[in-house]
């Protein structure tokens, strides 16, 4: 089963050091936005994390491939 989580106060985003701090989004008022990522966790322990951030795309929006199902399935299989 998949569980999608929300982080309206940004507490997890900050704890994971995933806050998007690039100038572009911040200049447009996107404060506290999270970088695009996917996490595989078991009983609260992170087993794999994929982050789509790149130097020319700090949000990871242009190519989110690493956070999509095929890449995460590969990360999960590698973590086992």
Domain-embedded: residue 3: no
23 occurs within a structural domain? yes
Q: Residue 6 domain-assigned?
A: no
Q: What region does 60 belong to: left with phi over 0, alpha with psi -120 to 50, or beta? A: left
Own/partner contacts of 40-47, CB < 8 Å, gap of 24 or more, are 40/72, 40/75, 40/76, 40/79, 47/76, 47/79
The domain of 61 spans 11-79
pLDDT at 2 over 80: no
Q: What is the pLDDT of residue 27?
A: 65
Residue 14: which H helix or E strand, with range? Answer: helix 11-15
Average confidence score pLDDT of the chain: 87
Lowest mean pLDDT of 46-50, 55-59, 69-73, name the range: 55-59
Domain assignment of residue 2, yes or no: no
| Number of domains within the chain | 1
Q: Above 70 in pLDDT, residue 25?
A: no
**Has residue 72 been placed in a domain?**
yes
In a domain, 1, yes or no: no
Flag whether 69 is in a domain. yes
């Amino acid at each position: 089963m998949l569980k999608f989580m929300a982080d309206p106060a940004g507490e997890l985003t900050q704890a994971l050091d995933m806050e998007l701090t690039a100038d572009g989004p911040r200049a447009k008022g996107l404060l506290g936005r999270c970088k695009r990522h996917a996490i595989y966790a078991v009983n609260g322990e992170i087993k794999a994390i994929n982050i789509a951030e790149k130097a020319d795309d700090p949000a990871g929006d242009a190519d989110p491939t690493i956070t999509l199902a095929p890449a995460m399935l590969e990360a999960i299989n590698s973590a086992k």
